[in-house]
Chain A
């Protein structure tokens, strides 16, 4: 059933071989082939631009008012690439190996190797487009470190790397718009895919139904293929670092139509976010992982210590990451760092008014950099004040925008007092199951970037999301989609009056009318918050059998409540953000149930999925390779009903071991 279509042959030659043998579409035929792209983040914008350049007829859709606002824009720290510009021992193999290990041996080797191979091209491409990466005085590109690696392979643009990469891709997209190769639809949201049988009786994805979010009108669009580049589903937790509009709807609609959902329970909880301040909180803000390059994480050695951080002497501080993981220290991978923070807070060592926070401290880095600067400037015996001044300047240049962001939210100056941080939901490694060609289990339907499950296993390393989104869009899909479309050159555009379009649109309309007709008493937001609480408490950083079983019952109950008591003001044929949200939250509720079901099924711990029943004596995640060395691909069978398909993972090169960062 599940065919991952991984090419045969030696791991490091698979992609080269594939490219040498995949089918091609000639330019005259490309002009006749239409491709629909949902989402304009790094994956969507890069795919739309590149496929437009190749000569395909592309339609791109985003729910935001401009493609430039997709949530990739918010990525801060950087993008990995195996350039080895630092001469510190990096290589394609190292990046591949770090990613497989970082993902706790739950990713596909062939996909990850391909990712590492194309990573270097991404940097070249982005520089050619004018992405202003950070540079050294000699004019060459600068690098820094991220978690889970021992080399410096992360390229960055201050703390705004995602913004700069997305603007680069967006500009290429707009260029194709001006050339007439891409038609852009902003403020449009996909609400279903359209399936049509081909002449051999195979169900294929042939289009989408979208809603114009200004007028409320439903539109039908045909495509020979459809690409979902719609991002992750972290907002199922209500509070996350995702943008308010980030949602699972496009992926979920595809799932309900037959696309398998891969590893839905793999969620990344990012260790360094600004803690929750109250019930009014609408979202959480990330503090880039790059801050762990220079910042030190600590809590007091004494439980319930209420002293100000500056009053706690050095010997009474517990730098718990450096203590537990001397080899990687503050740069352990995200899942490890998050669990360690939770462990300290649960044990009563947390700080701040909520006691659900740890310190991220820059005092030592400021002194270290200050001394270096004074040395460069030839200042002999500098006073502490002078050292501090120069140190602050260096830190400001490296991380200034992040420090400002922290101060705006908390009102505290992080140059003076350590930041308070706590883990928060950030990224979802799970997503639509795809094969090597990024095609879902529905022919003609692809998933790229965070929307698919493919490259990060059970835990994503920092600075790898940008890499994957752009790899998929710039360098993978342009080849793999040709392999499919080469057999579609005789397929004429299907009339929008085809029964499949008419019926699908009717089903979408019926659902919207049903939502509007409930006229209950509870707001969408309040129901979403309740879903988030269930998910965070029972399917969050730590999970256990009893909690997950309870969560499933609670979510089913919440679903009933939603469909009988939700209140959506306004009308259908107008701009109605409450209706937009209701559509999304209804899907989140269903997804939440599947996530719990997947987490319940996976009795092992791996990466971001921590089952309390499966841990080592030291409290680390304990994998079970005998029973769970597979991808869980769930097939939708009906309301609250799924069938599990397993894709066995074969490790021919990177042999699974207990992951250690000690």
Chain B
């Protein structure tokens, strides 16, 4: 792989706090190596800003290997940037060429208020999980793990849904800021497993209720969420969610 360096123009959303108005700031960065990750490029800029006595850009990031779900940049109009099945921290600068202009924004959704610069509050996701995204299994009561065989296909499908990292790209990509892909991934994960059976109905009803309370928009099935999901969570999970919700709504006896 040929390595190269580049000069870039960045337009980055700066916002002091949730109470203040934000705006775009333009920065020139030079000698960026194609081997750097996108966040390392931001590190270089931040280091320069600190040396110039300015405030660095605040952004969420932690594992920097695509699994914690903390990073959340809206890059040139697309969550997590141009690559598919990718998080911002995994994006590398070889995706860009010398002279490019890159616009970086936070996730835009009423349910994810901006805290500072590119940092948003995704607490709504935790509250949706708390509403029912679990199996009530107190520690110490479990039977032997192999006492419940599970079809491999179902186990694999449950895993594929459970791979969600809760980053919120689905919400950011959606014109309605809908959280249906996120919610459907959890509902599918647990509905596909026999252990999830007893709470199947109350789970989906409670989680959807919480999602609505958080102010996320409705799903019109444009599939923008699937296109940007770093873990390639499929929209078929949304179909399963709709089915689960409908059946639960019609048959739940409470």
- Provide the residues of chain A in CB contact with B250, threshold 8 Å: none
**Closest CB in chain B relative to A306 CB, distance in Å:** 16
With beta carbons under 8 angstroms apart, the residue of B47, B70, B158, B159 that contacts A523 is: B47
Expressed in whole angstroms, the minimum distance between the Cβ of A127 and any Cβ of chain B is 4
**Which of under 10, 10 to 19, 20 to 34, or 35 or more describes the interface residues of B?**
35 or more
Residue with the greatest number of chain B CB neighbours at <10 A, chosen from A68, A83, A157: A68
User: Which chain A positions have C-beta within 8 A of B115?
Assistant: 214, 575
Interface residues of B in 5-39 (CB under 8 A from A): 16-17, 33, 35-37, 39
Q: Does B241 make an interface contact (CB < 8 A)?
A: no
List the one stretch of B60-68, B96-104, B172-180, B215-223 in contact with chain A.
B60-68
Q: Is B247 on the interface with A (CB-CB < 8 A)?
A: no
Q: Which residues of A contact B121 (CB under 8 A)?
A: 65
Checking A49, A157, A244 against B64 with a beta-carbon cut-off of 8 angstroms, the contacting residue is A244
List of A residues within 8 angstroms of B165 by Cβ = 163
B139 contacts which chain A residues (CB < 8 A)? Answer: 46, 49-50, 53, 125, 172, 474-475, 478
Q: Mark A273-291, 1 if CB is under 8 A from B, else 0.
A: 0000110111101100000
B130: A residues at CB distance < 8 A: 174-175, 177-178
B82 an interface residue at 8 Å Cβ cutoff? no
Interface of chain B, helix or strand or loop or mixed? Answer: loop
Q: How far is the CB of A82 from chain B (nearest CB, A)?
A: 13
B50: shortest Cβ distance to chain A, in Å?
5
On whether the beta carbons of B43 and A124 are closer than 8 Å, the reply is no
In Å, the complex CA distance between A214 and B43 comes to 21
For B143, the chain A residues whose CB sits under 8 A away are 124, 128
Task: Report yes or no: A139 in contact with B126, Cβ–Cβ below 8 A.
Answer: no
Q: Known contacts A66-B166, A74-B67; is A135 also within 8 Å of B152 by CB?
A: yes
Complex Cα distance A408/B38, Å?
12
> Counting CB contacts under 8 A, is B235 at the interface?
no
Kindly state whether residue B195 has any CB partner on chain A within 8 Å. yes
Question: How many pairs of A and B residues are in contact by the CB < 8 Å rule?
Answer: 222
Residues of A close to B85: CB separation below 8 A = 404
**Residues of A close to B240: CB separation below 8 A:** none
Question: Is B141 engaged at the interface, CB distance under 8 Å to the other chain?
Answer: yes
Tell me the complex Cα distance, A186–B60, Å.
13
Stretch of A97-105, A249-257, A409-417, A612-620 lying at the B interface = A409-417
| Residue pair A140, B68 in contact (C-beta under 8 Å) | no
Q: Looking at the complex, which one of A65, A132, A244, A411 makes contact with B155 (CB distance below 8 Å)?
A: A132
| Residues of chain B contacted by A537 (CB below 8 angstroms) | none
Q: Which of A71, A130, A475 has the most CB of B within 10 A?
A: A130
- Is A67 within 8 A of B53, CB to CB? no
Q: A130-B189, A575-B58 are in contact. Are A139 and B149 (CB under 8 A)?
A: yes
- Interfacial chain A residues near B135, Cβ < 8 Å: 128-130, 171
Contact A167 B162 (CB under 8 A): yes
Q: Which residue of the partner chain, among A50, A139, A570, contacts B150 with CB atoms under 8 Å?
A: A139
* CB of A141 within 8 Å of the partner chain: yes
- CB proximity to A under 8 Å, residues B176-227: 189-190, 193, 195-196
Q: Which residue of A lies closest to B123 (CB)?
A: A186
A41→B110 CA distance, assembly (Å): 29
Asked if A567 and B1 make an inter-chain contact with CB atoms under 8 angstroms apart, the answer reads no
Contacts of A136 in B (CB 8 A): 152
A282 lies within 8 A of B43 (CB):
yes
In the complex, which of the residues A83, A162, A245 contacts B145, with contact meaning CB atoms closer than 8 Å? A83
Residues of B within 8 A of A243 (CB): 62-64, 68
Complex CA distance for A278 and B3, rounded to whole angstroms:
12
Q: A69 at interface (Cβ–Cβ under 8 A)?
A: yes
A480 to B68, CA, bound (A): 31
Contact of A164 among B50, B136, B162, B190 (CB under 8 A): B162
Give min CB distance, A135 to chain B, whole Å. 5
Q: Which 5 A-B pairs have the closest CB atoms?
A: A139-B149, A171-B134, A124-B142, A128-B142, A132-B159
Known A-B contacts: A136-B152, A569-B53. Give 6 more (CB < 8 A).
Answer: A74-B63, A132-B155, A135-B152, A409-B92, A525-B47, A574-B16
- Can you name 26 A-B residue pairings with CB atoms under 8 Å? A64-B70, A68-B166, A73-B67, A83-B146, A124-B142, A125-B142, A133-B145, A140-B146, A157-B159, A160-B67, A167-B162, A174-B130, A178-B131, A184-B126, A244-B61, A244-B63, A282-B39, A283-B64, A409-B90, A410-B1, A411-B92, A412-B1, A569-B53, A569-B54, A575-B17, A575-B115
